[in-house]
Amino acid sequence: MLIIGESLNATRKSVHDAVIAQDVEFLQKLAVDQVNAGAMMLDVNAAVPNRKEEEDLPWMVEKVQEVVDVPLAIDSNNPDAIIAALAVHKGRPMINSISGEEEKLEKLLPIVTETDCDVILLCMDDKGIPSTIEGKVQIAGKVIELLLTKGKKIENVYVDPLIGTVATQTDAGVLAIETIKAIKKEFPGVHTAAGVSNISYGMPARKLLNRIFLSLCISNGLDGCIVDSRDQELMSSIWATMGLSGQDRFRSYMRAYKKGLLKG
């Protein structure tokens, strides 16, 4: 299970403010805290309205990589910002994300296929997010075929089912799990990854729902998650689920225990 720390994201007020203030210390502490808590990769998003993301994102990448040596997931809707960030990233990055959206795809496809990197593929296109599993699988299939034709390896692709919220659709949880299963069945060798906190948007006791839902996803084959790694209860449930579902013989669970990270 690839655990990606979500917190360096300018949609969060504190990070938004830190980008504007160019507060290196704040961002570096947030990076170190997430890695110390068990994140294996950090998602970075520096999109602040009315600022140049093509400058802020590579800046954030450089400052974060000064203090942690995990790879980064370059999270942006702006292809030019992604390209600028990749140019300064050390090691093997992840691109978050591409999708079936034509304009973005056209710009990013050469970069994604010519760079040694992982990539998250969102199951959406210019018409939005399909409401059916079949619709999502179809978009994933179209983009995977393009990637493979241009030489990308299937195992370097992480398909994101784009999880909805149970507040507006009570079966959003099952739907997500069935989508994960369908994608892995349809495209052998492909990986899956998702941000899970969407599931609980608009509901009470969000952390409870996030934790249980992530556990269900992991036991049904989810390979990567974008989560708040500073949440010890969430992380502990990830490690417990991996052991209990027979994925790693409790290795990550015992490692976390020895590091004092397990919370029962």
Contact call for residue 223 and ligand THG (CB under 6 A): no
CA distance 148 to 154: 7
Contact call for residue 97 and ligand THG (CB under 6 A): yes
Choose which of 199, 226, 235, 242 interacts with ligand THG (CB under 6 A). 226
Cβ of 113: how many Cβ atoms within 10 Å?
A: 17
Contact call for residue 76 and ligand THG (CB under 6 A): no
Work out how close the CB of 231 gets to ligand THG at its nearest, in angstroms, rounded to a whole number. 8
Cβ of 91: how many Cβ atoms within 10 Å?
A: 11
CB within 8 Å of 155: residues ≥ 6 apart:
189, 190, 191
Contact call for residue 197 and ligand THG (CB under 6 A): yes
Contact call for residue 120 and ligand THG (CB under 6 A): yes
Contact call for residue 2 and ligand THG (CB under 6 A): no
Contact call for residue 228 and ligand THG (CB under 6 A): yes
Question: Nearest to residue 38, comparing CAs of 198, 208, 236?
Answer: 236
Count residues near ligand THG (CB under 6 A). 15
Question: Nearest to residue 58, comparing CAs of 41, 80, 40?
Answer: 80
Question: Nearest to residue 111, comparing CAs of 70, 82, 133?
Answer: 82
Contact call for residue 101 and ligand THG (CB under 6 A): no
Backbone angles phi, psi at 81, to 5 degrees: -70, -40
Question: Which residues in 166-180 are b (16+ Cβ under 10 Å) and which e?
Answer: beeeeebbebbbebb
Considering only residues 130 through 159, tell me which ones interact with ligand THG, judged by CB under 6 A. Answer: none
User: Which span (29-37, 134-142, 194-202, 235-243) binds ligand THG, by CB under 6 A?
Assistant: 194-202
Contact call for residue 176 and ligand THG (CB under 6 A): no
User: Which span (132-140, 166-174, 192-200, 244-252) binds ligand THG, by CB under 6 A?
Assistant: 192-200
Contact call for residue 75 and ligand THG (CB under 6 A): yes
Question: Nearest to residue 43, comparing CAs of 104, 84, 89?
Answer: 89
Contact call for residue 195 and ligand THG (CB under 6 A): yes
Residues that bind ligand THG (CB under 6 A): 6, 9, 12, 43, 75, 96-97, 120, 160, 194-195, 197-198, 226, 228
